[in-house]
A and B are shown apart, each in its own frame.
Chain A
Amino acid sequence: MNLVFKALSDPTRRQILQLLRKKPMTAGELAEHFPVAKSTLSAHFAILREADLIEASKSGTVITYMLKVSVLEEALLAFAETVGVGLPKAMPLKRATGKAK
């Protein structure tokens, strides 16, 4: 359970999960949504996989990620997103959630 909380405490990882809710995506497609280095993103994927929140399937050199969250984990994700866990304290909630989207 600790791994799940750790995974959901980061806004980038939550945004990855939100994107995967819509459809499965390759690592490259996901990377287009984030202005971070690929190695940083790989570390995020590793944490999400460790927490068993995403599933990776490899075909050739392409890794496709798919969401694998339980009902409570999804509720927890929605809660963390609403409250804005892991965002700077000074940032107002509305602005923070707007930025996360």
Chain B
Amino acid sequence: MIDRKALWISITVLLAMLAAGIWRFSMLPDWHHLPLDGPASKHAVNGLVLFISPFGLFVATVSMYGRKWFAAGSDEAVRPWRRWSTMFVISYCALVGLMQAFIIARSLGYGLAVDRMSFARIAMAAAGILLMAAGNVMPKLPGLSMRLRCLQLDPWQQNRQLRLSGKLMFGLGLSMVCIAAFLPLLPQKILFPLILGPCLAMTAALLWHRVKLKREPSPRP
């Protein structure tokens, strides 16, 4: 449910990120060892890190674009969703594109003047702000009718589901901003599960809430 222009921008950025990642990955003598502060640096991470951002962008684009396969509605109802999804995907493209460029540039020895940890904090805070902005307006979006009957909720149930989604998204974003601003950044081995864990928990909570709403009698016939 993103417009065609945003889809093409997203695909272009994704291919560019993937190509750059594969190129850098193929140049590594040991793919377990991607230097972080120039080619001779001792600080290194697994080379597969180069594919996390493209994967994230792929998931975001497919989930935003693919919403139209599951949901339908009048033009009036779809328009705000399209605007919201487009805003999210384009901002996410810019963010992950910058992150990928920074990692590759630093591993080649460029941009060493920029502090790595400061950049990581700014990127994390920016991702958090993006989630907060998207989550904040989510409850204002109109309900769409689902093509699959098992996913169908009435307007009031959809309203409640969107309110919960918005709050969870906003909360996740706020916690990311707080971590970036106040807490010491943890090693990647811990940091990724720490972010991925709440994301999966949020998805599970939303599914559970949808099932719960479906079982409840609606206040309106």
Contacts and interface: CB of A to CB of B under 8 A. Distances in A.
Report if A and B associate in a common complex: yes
B43 interface: no
Contacts, number: 39
Contacts of A64: 220
B139 A70 contact: yes
B152 interface: no
Given A23-B219, A24-B219, A24-B220, A66 B136 contact: no
Interface in B131-163: 135-140, 155-156, 159, 163
A71 B135 contact: yes
A68 interface: yes
A71 B220 CA distance: 24
B166 interface: yes
Contact of A68 (B140, B167, B220): B140
A67 B166 contact: no
A36 interface: no
Contact of B159 (A52, A66, A70, A71): A66
Contacts of A90: none
A70 B166 contact: yes
Q: How large is the interface on A (under 10, 10 to 19, 20 to 34, 35 or more residues)?
A: 10 to 19
A52 B220 contact: no
Contact of B136 (A24, A67, A72): A72
A64 B156 CA distance: 11
A46 B163 CA distance: 22
Nearest to B174: A71
Contacts of A70: 136-140, 166
A92 B156 CA distance: 36
B25 interface: no
Contacts of B137: 70
Contacts of A52: 140
Most buried by B among A24, A67, A71, A74: A71
B73 to A, nearest CB: 14
Contact of B167 (A24, A66, A71): A71
Interface of B: 135-140, 155-156, 159, 163, 166-167, 170, 219-220
Interface of A: 23-24, 52, 57, 64, 66-72, 74
Question: A-B pairs with the 10 shortest C-beta distances?
Answer: A23-B219, A71-B170, A71-B136, A70-B136, A71-B166, A24-B156, A72-B136, A70-B140, A71-B167, A70-B137
